[in-house]
Copies of this chain bind each other. A is one copy, B any other.
Amino acid sequence: MKPKFPYYAVIFTNYRTAGDNGYQQTSERMMELAAQQPGYLGVDHAREETGITISYWESLRAIADWKAQADHLLAQKKGRETWYSEYRVRICRVEKEYAFSSDDTPA
């Protein structure tokens, strides 16, 4: 991913309720749908006690469009009703970035 600056990150941190209740299937479907949205750049995800999903976008408009996407709206509703005991969404502007890969450095 070689994005143009600035781009945007949506940090979604959450705590799940007990049981799957259709969460996994919908979660995977949302990942697929998000990737089809205009302005989508990528995603990072991990869950231990806290679940963290960070999606990256070209613009605030792209983020707003995904938030308002019909299937995603239903998933958000189900999220509040069933899947999450708590969550937090932070909309961020990525100002600077640097990367390391052990392949790039002398052994």
* A positions within 8 Å CB-CB of B: 9, 11, 13, 17, 44-52, 54, 79-80, 84-102, 105
Contact = CB atoms under 8 A, between A and B. Distances in A.
Contacts of A101: 85-86
Contacts of A17: 102
Contacts of A89: 97-99
16 contacts: A9-B11, A11-B44, A46-B48, A46-B51, A47-B48, A52-B54, A80-B100, A86-B99, A86-B101, A87-B99, A88-B98, A90-B94, A90-B96, A90-B97, A92-B93, A92-B94
- Grouping DSSP codes into helix (H, G, I), strand (E, B) and loop, the A interface class, with mixed when no group exceeds half, is strand
- Copies of this protein, total: 2
B97 A84 contact: no
Contacts of A11: 9, 11, 44, 54
